[in-house]
Amino acid sequence: MRLQNKVAIITGAGGDLGRGMALRLSEEGAGVMVNDKNLQRAQETVRLVVENGGRAISHGADITRAVEVKEMVDQVLKEWGQIDILVNNAGDIRDALLQNMTDEDWDFVIDLSLKGSFVCARAIAPYMIERRYGKIVNISSLAYKGNFGQSNYVSAKAGVVGLTQALGLELARYNINVNCVAPGLIDTPKTATLDSKVRERLIQKTPLRRMGDIKDIANAVLFLVSDESKYITRQIIHVSGGMEGF
Ligand SMILES: NC(=O)c1ccc[n+]([C@@H]2O[C@H](COP(=O)([O-])OP(=O)(O)OC[C@H]3O[C@@H](n4cnc5c(N)ncnc54)[C@H](O)[C@@H]3O)[C@@H](O)[C@H]2O)c1
């Protein structure tokens, strides 16, 4: 029970990786706010956590909207009175080559991954500062190093790396660790829709010659939000089977 008496907020936790994190962190004792714009998916995660013996509540805040994030934070404080952990996980893609990428594709991806992480960190950090304790983990992607047809996603995820390094500096004096997990090719329903040739090419580029699974990401996040990593901050952990770029 490494996270006994801790309270975590995980964004996008109705999704595949976020759900895995909610299950893993709650197994270690954390109370988890499962935030997801898709409230039905959030509620399903809560059901699975509770079935597994854990504690969780849900909220449907759109993380790009500060007013909604504040309501979500207020709900956590009302329920548990503190916030120890924030995992900025919500993210999505709108792929297109440069000439075909619309303003809407660009704004959607940047707003969700980058602005959403900023909005949540800004809303939650004061409660961590007050208690001189906090762990923030931002979920980037190995794509932050560059990938075809993803200039919006690559920029957002590189931004998340920058945000980690900036907030890590600003918040270190308050004993708040800020780190980043950059997943490589992870076996989720979304990556199952990849063209089989593309998937095979990526597996061949992965030194461990296999896809990662949801638990690999959840375990990395668990390490970074536990006190076993208390001297680690401003780091980017590649959970990618050794792959260094797509
Ligand atoms: N799956 C992978 O292989 C992989 C690889 C690298 C990085 N990532 C990153 O990991 C994170 C999770 O990915 P996933 O595969 O679980 O995605 P997912 O689509 O399964 O889950 C993302 C969740 O975010 C929610 N969401 C979308 N917009 C939101 C908003 N404005 N406010 C609140 N919630 C919102 C969605 O409803 C969804 O449930 C993302 O940031 C993604 O970029 C995933």
- Please report, for the chain, the start and end positions of each structural domain, with discontinuous segments joined by +: 7-239
Mean pLDDT of all residues in the chain? 98
Atom of ligand 1 nearest to the CA of 142: 6
Question: At residue 202, does pLDDT exceed 90?
Answer: yes
Q: Cα(55)–Cα(99) distance, rounded to whole angstroms?
A: 47
Residue among 21, 24, 33, 36 to mutate when testing ligand 1 (max atoms within 8 A of CB)? 36
What phi, psi does 150 have (nearest 5°)? -135, 40
d(CA 2, CA 26): 10
Ligand 1 contacts CB of residue 64 (under 6 A): yes
Per-residue model confidence (pLDDT) at position 80: 98
Residue of 9, 17, 186, 213 to test ligand 1 pocket, by largest number of atoms within 8 Å of CB:
17
Q: Is the pTM of this model over 0.75?
A: yes
Q: What is the pLDDT of residues 133-185, one digit of tens each?
A: 999 999 999 999 999 999 999 999 999 999 999 999 999 999 999 999 999 99
Q: What is the pLDDT of residue 132?
A: 98
Which atom of ligand 1 is closest in space to residue 65's alpha carbon? 31
Answer whether 18 contacts ligand 1 (Cβ < 6 A).
yes
Burial of 193 from C-beta contacts in 10 A (0-12 / 13-18 / 19+)? exposed
Give the ligand 1 atom nearest the CA of 113. Answer: 41
58 CB near ligand 1 (under 6 Å) = no
For ligand 1, is residue 63 a contact (CB within 6 Å)? yes
> What confidence score (pLDDT) does residue 88 get?
99
Q: Does the pLDDT at position 190 exceed 90?
A: no
Q: What percent of the chain stands above pLDDT 90?
A: 98
Q: 89 CB under 6 A from ligand 1?
A: yes
Q: How many Å apart are CA 152 and CA 94, to the nearest integer?
A: 8
Residue 49 pLDDT class (50, 70, 90 cuts): very high
At a CB cut-off of 8 Å and minimum separation 6, what does 103 contact?
none
Mutate which of 59, 72, 89, 180 for ligand 1? The one with the most ligand atoms within 8 Å of its CB, which is: 89
Cα distance between residue 25 and residue 34, in whole Å: 11
CATH of domain 7-239: 3.40.50.720
Of 157, 39, 187, nearest to 93 by C-alpha is 157
Which residue's CA is the nearest one to ligand 1's atom 18?
A: 15
- Average pLDDT, stretch 104-125? 98
- HEC profile for the chain? CCCCCCEEEEECCCCHHHHHHHHHHHHCCCEEEEECCCHHHHHHHHHHHHHCCCEEEEECCCCCCHHHHHHHHHHHHHHHCCCCEEEECCCCCCCECHHHCCHHHHHHHHHHHHHHHHHHHHHHHHHHHHHCCEEEEEECCHHHHCCCCEHHHHHHHHHHHHHHHHHHHHHHHHCEEEEEEEECCECCCCHHHCCHHHHHHHHHCCCCCCCECHHHHHHHHHHHHCHHHCCCCCCEEEECCCCCCC
Of the candidates 183, 210, 215, 213, the residue with the CA atom closest to the CA atom of residue 199 = 210
Q: Is the pLDDT of residue 46 over 90?
A: yes
Q: Which amino acid is at 218?
A: A
Residue 19 CB–ligand 1 contact under 6 Å = no
